[in-house]
Every structure is written in structure tokens, then in C-alpha cells.
Structure 1
Amino acid sequence: MRFIKLLLLSGVVFGTLIFLISLLFPSTAIVERSGVIDAPISTVYSQINDLSTWPSWNPWAAPDVAQKIEFSSPAAGEGAYYTWSGMHHERPVSGKVTISKSNTGKELVYALDFSSMKPMTGTFEIKPSADGNATAIQWRVETKLGMLPWWKLRGFLADKLTGPQLESGLTKLKNICEKK
């Protein structure tokens, strides 16, 4: 009986300690990547503002994840959205991207709802590069994690988990824009 009490007390103390440590972690996870695309701002902006082009470069719309994609009409500009569903690692996945702000040639803000994940807000900022011959782009994804320790721990790893996907997407976007 004494062993069971000690085990329960240890579990409560350990759980409380984990929760208190998690309070030190931020409740928002931010992942950013940037690059330079050797193409005019209008070309880059047309790719990010038109959701029907996203499956060709966006890592979350990859064919191995998104087997079924549906676009709003129109598929570009503020209020446009697309939904996807499919199987990933033998689990059903689905999501929706909605453009919430489209500032021509400067910024695009979107909401990303992805099954079993916290909602995310993404932002693309574009401007002329330092030499004026290309487009500088920054892709930022922000997730409000809340106070639960397991979400905050995942947020602590967000850059390691999501960063490579953003880099891959920017590389594909760069290749597409530079061919035009």
C-alpha cells in the first residue's frame, strides 16, 4: 500500500513539475524562412495569390498528402480558399487554406486549418531585393499553442518540424517563378 501511495504521489509531483516547466515555454510558435527569387514581384505575387497554383509548390498540398483538392471560385484574392483531403501514413488528413488578406505586390495572409493540429496563420511578405533586380520573400507561419504542456513542447520543436517544409516550398516556388 505504501508503494502505491508513493507511486501516485510521484506521478502527481512529476505531472505538476512538467506543467510548471511548460509555463516557461512561449504559447505561440513562429517559424520563418526567407529567400530571393530572380523574378519580378508581379510574377511571385501571382503565384502566392492564386491558390490553384499552390499544389505545385506548397508542401502541404503535395500529391502524397492531398489526393482530393477543391478550390473556391475565384481561387485568387481575399476570401479565396481551397480544401484538401487524403491519406498520410495510413491516417486520414484534411485541411483548408483561406486567404484573409491580400495586399497586391506586398503581403498575403492566410489561415491554415489542418486536421489534428492547431490552426495556423501564414504570411508572405514580398519586396524588391536589395539590388532591385529580384524579389525578396519571407514566409512566416504562426501557431497559437495554448497552455497545454504537450502543445507547448511541440511548439518548442516547431522550427525543426516545419522549417524544412517551408524551405522546400520556397525552393519550388523559386524554380517555378524563375522559369516564367
Structure 2
Amino acid sequence: MLKKIAIGLAAALALLLAFIATRPDTFTLSRTATLPGTPDIAFGLVNDFHQWERWSPWEKLDPNLKRVYGGAESGTGATYAWTGNSEAGEGRMTIEESRANESVRIKLEFLKPFAATNTTTFTLKPAQDGTAVTWTMTGENGFMSKAFSVFFDMDAMVGKDFEKGLASMQAAATAEIAKRAEAEAARKQAEAKAAEEAATATEGAPAVAAPTP
């Protein structure tokens, strides 16, 4: 009896392993949202790792998250490494390609709780109501990733984080637009005041008599 059970379990395990092996070797996850404002606003939020704290869905997983910025200040060559709790894990990002107001490609390296290297791309396109931002992640499926995908929907799990991040990015873009509007209003007010003061000074200046020939 036990022998039959063991054989049955072995056969079931063999079938499961065979099924896991048939899973795709690569994966692609993607979400799109429309942000208010012109592409340069969305570009600034993703092209500068210092801005990610404003919208990244993973930044709030650990209030004591340790961040290390390196390389270029922003754009190609900029790096960002993080170390956090069991939820945040540990990893590193490097901007490999940056096209102003069009796209940003990032090498994403996970170190803990598991090792993996993926590619993240943000593509920006002008839209009727602002800027369409498409957040895509691609990578290879190792055996463990394939096994995980049998029992869990990776697109739904990670996609939910992408959707949350894009929603936060929308809020950050709205705040940036308001900030720029305030700065522009202050600039115009300062210019108007300077012009008014200059006009008052001119009016109050004593007239200079023309020289007598």
C-alpha cells in the first residue's frame, strides 16, 4: 500500500515538474496610466531616483529603508541601492538609457529575499489629457519563478503595485504642476512689482534742465 502511495506521489511530482518546465521562459508585466501635464513632468519623476520616494509603491514598505544614491545625479548612469526589512528586501537600480521626455530604461537587480535581474522601462507619450505613462518590467523565468507562477498570478500581484505606483505618480505630477504654477505666479508678481517701482522712481526723479547754448 505504502509503495503504491509512494509511486503515486512520485508520478504526481514528475508531472508537476514537467508542467513547470513548460511555463514561459520570459515574462512581461505592464500597466499604463495618464498623468496630468506635459511629458517633462512625468519624465522628471522617473528619471531622477531622488524623486521615487514621492511615488514608488515600495518606498513605504519599510520606514527605516536605507537608500544609497550614486553615479550621475539623474539620467543615464544614475544608481539607487536600497536595503530594508523582509518586505522591502535589498537591491539596486541603474538607469541604462534615458531619452528626454520619451523613455527611461532601468536595470533592476534584486538581491534579497531572492536574486533576480529584470529590465524596467517607462515610456512616455503625449495624450489628450496629459501624458500616457507605460510602466513595463521584463525578465527571465528561472525554475523557481516558473514554479511560483503555477500557484500565483504574478501579473495580478506585481500589476497591483504598478497601478498603485502610477496613481501616486499622478498625485506627484499634480503637485508638481501646482508648484510650477505658484512659482510662475510669484515670478510675474515680482516682475510687476519691479516694473512698478522702476516707474515710480522715474516719475519721482528731478527733471534735468537742458544746457543753454
Q: TM-score, normalised to structure 2's length?
A: 0.73
> Higher RCO, 1 or 2 (CA under 8 Å, sep at least 6)?
1
Greater Cα radius of gyration, structure 1 or 2: 2
Q: Which residue of 2 aligns with 1:15?
A: 13
Query: How far does residue 62 in structure 1 lie from its aligned partner after superposition?
Result: 2.4
Q: Which is strand-richer, 1 or 2? A: 1
CA distance in 1, matches of 2:69, 2:167: 24
Identity %: 23
The alignment covers a number of residue pairs equal to 172
1:81 to 79, 92, 100: 79
**Which one-letter code corresponds to 1:165 in the other structure?**
D
Q: TM-score, normalised to structure 1's length?
A: 0.86
CA distance in 1, matches of 2:97, 2:7: 51
Structure 1 alignment gaps of length 5 or more: none
Root mean square deviation of aligned Cα? 2.0
**Which one-letter code corresponds to 1:10 in the other structure?**
G
Query: How far does residue 12 in structure 1 lie from its aligned partner after superposition?
Result: 2.4
Query: How far does residue 63 in structure 1 lie from its aligned partner after superposition?
Result: 5.2
Q: Which residue of 2 aligns with 1:70?
A: 68
Correspondence 1:1-180 to 2 at 5 A: 3=2, 5-62=3-60, 64=62, 67-88=65-86, 93-114=89-110, 115=112, 116-129=114-127, 131=128, 133-146=129-142, 148=143, 150-155=144-149, 157-180=153-176
Query: How far does residue 65 in structure 1 lie from its aligned partner after superposition?
Result: 6.3
Conserved 8 A contact 2:71-2:77 = no
Conserved 8 A contact 1:78-1:100 = yes
**Which one-letter code corresponds to 2:145 in the other structure?**
W
Structure 2 alignment gaps of length 5 or more: 177-213
Conserved 8 A contact 1:69-1:83 = yes
Give the 4+ runs in structure 1 shifted more than 6 A: none
